[in-house]
């Protein structure tokens, strides 16, 4: 079974991070790890991370050189076959989202990229509507001429494909 590393980058995210920690922790897909890269928060972010700490979670808190540096740190810490970047405050749609997205890999097709649609929700997590831009049936480089059709929250990439490019 292919594994997934969910990477969350934080900085003073006490107000939004709990939703993300719960969402990743509730996933029914067993081979999942949650990597948190905190940029040295001064609020209660680290207390929150410590409260949710579990064997499937690894985290570091240290200064970084911005969002992409922190994302690269998370990717370097990851051990999963696939990577997914989930911001503080973002959540998977349901507890079986990862299981459903990873089902093609369970059947040994091992695609380079997995992606889906993005739901827009309110602060309480209630569904509002689907994102206006729809993910294409087949994602190609030409797809991006129309903008970012796939949100990173609904995008999983093979770690082996990500590593050579560095953000």
What are the tens digits of pLDDT across the range 13-33? 999 999 999 999 999 999 999
4-118+150-162 domain in CATH 3.90.550.10?
yes
Q: Could you tell me the residue ranges of all domains in the chain?
A: 4-118+150-162
3-state secondary structure of 21: helix
State the pLDDT confidence band at 153, using cuts at 50, 70 and 90. low
**Which of the four pLDDT bands, split at 50, 70 and 90, describes residue 131?**
low
Q: Say which residue the tokens 């690894």 belong to.
A: 58
Answer whether 0.85 is exceeded by the pTM: no
Which position has the higher pLDDT, 61 or 125? 61
pLDDT at residue 51 greater than cutoff 60? yes
Average of pLDDT values for 142-165?
68
For the record, the structure tokens of 24 come out as: 């990743």
Give me 69's structure tokens. Answer: 């540096």
CB 26 within 8 A of CB 48: no
């Amino acid at each position: 079974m292919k594994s997934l590393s969910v990477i969350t980058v934080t900085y003073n995210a006490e107000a939004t991070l709990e939703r993300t920690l719960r969402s990743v922790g509730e996933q029914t897909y067993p081979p999942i790890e949650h990597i948190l890269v905190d940029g040295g928060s001064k609020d209660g972010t680290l207390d929150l991370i410590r409260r949710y700490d579990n064997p499937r979670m690894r985290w570091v808190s240290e200064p970084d050189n911005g969002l992409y540096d922190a994302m690269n740190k998370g990717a370097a810490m990851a051990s999963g076959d696939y990577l997914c970047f989930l911001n503080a405050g973002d959540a998977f749609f349901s507890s079986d989202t990862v299981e459903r997205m990873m089902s093609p890999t369970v059947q040994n097709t091992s695609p380079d990229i997995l992606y889906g649609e993005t739901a827009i929700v309110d602060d309480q997590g209630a569904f509002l509507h689907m994102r206006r831009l729809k993910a294409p049936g087949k994602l190609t480089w030409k797809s991006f001429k129309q903008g970012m059709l796939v949100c990173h929250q609904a995008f999983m990439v093979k770690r082996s494909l990500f590593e050579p490019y560095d953000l």
